[in-house]
Amino acid sequence: MTEVDVPASHPRSESLRRRHRIEAGVEAGITSRQGLIAQGRGEAFDYLLGERTIPSADAAERAAAAHLLRADHAVLSVNGNVAALAPAETVELADATGAALEVNLFDRTDERVAHIADHLRDHGAEAVLGAGADDRVPGIDHERATVDADGIGSADVVLVPLEDGDRAEALAEMGTTPLVVDLNPLSRSARAAAVPIVDNLVRALPNVTAHARELGEASDAELDGIVEDFDARDALDAAEAAIRSGDE
């Protein structure tokens, strides 16, 4: 069964289509096999959230848009699952906010970086950083530390979706503002983030883009106010409560 073979009447049709995107990503050399496990873990939390964007997540998405718009040098970090699940949405968010795109991988090979960069270009990206990574994030002993000096290495705001928490923590330690998309409000990534977005990536990225377009003409003072009014702890607490109770 391919993605197009999944009938719309199937109660898990969207979930199955996303699984097929990850599977196809593995076959194309974009996603690692471990990405299949990560996708399943995220699906479990999304199911508990009712597969919807709860109000606290929408507020986080608006705050993330404000951060990206007010940044001097924002970067969207792209790993294999992000590239497989939402390549066009990632490129659209970069276009809406002026953020750079950079490939960053735990299971890093030059071939995978090239495949992902080409995949993003196929979906409209003009420039993709990461292939010539010449800098490192301090405090990390694996390949996620490998970054582009002109990208994540010098960014003031970085969107780090679908990752383990050590890099979000390390980015915060070096003075960078990490924005995180993670369906688990108890994860280290979410708790290290200046803005934890507890939502499915395929909903979160278009929502942040929509907020960015809405705020495109906002003053610096308005953007600053949105950033300052957002409370990460409140957002995490609201997401955990929604998961535990099934309510918003």
pLDDT at 212 over 90: yes
Ordered domains of the chain (ranges, CATH): 55-245 (3.40.50.12640)
**pLDDT tens for each residue of 192-209:** 999 999 999 999 999 999
**pLDDT tens for each residue of 77-131:** 999 889 989 999 999 999 999 999 999 988 788 888 999 999 999 999 999 999 9
**pLDDT tens for each residue of 15-66:** 656 666 666 666 676 776 665 656 556 677 888 888 899 999 999 999 999 9
**pLDDT tens for each residue of 160-172:** 998 777 888 999 9
Q: What is the pLDDT of residue 37?
A: 57
- Residue 42's nearest CA partner among 211, 131, 164 is 164
pTM: 0.88
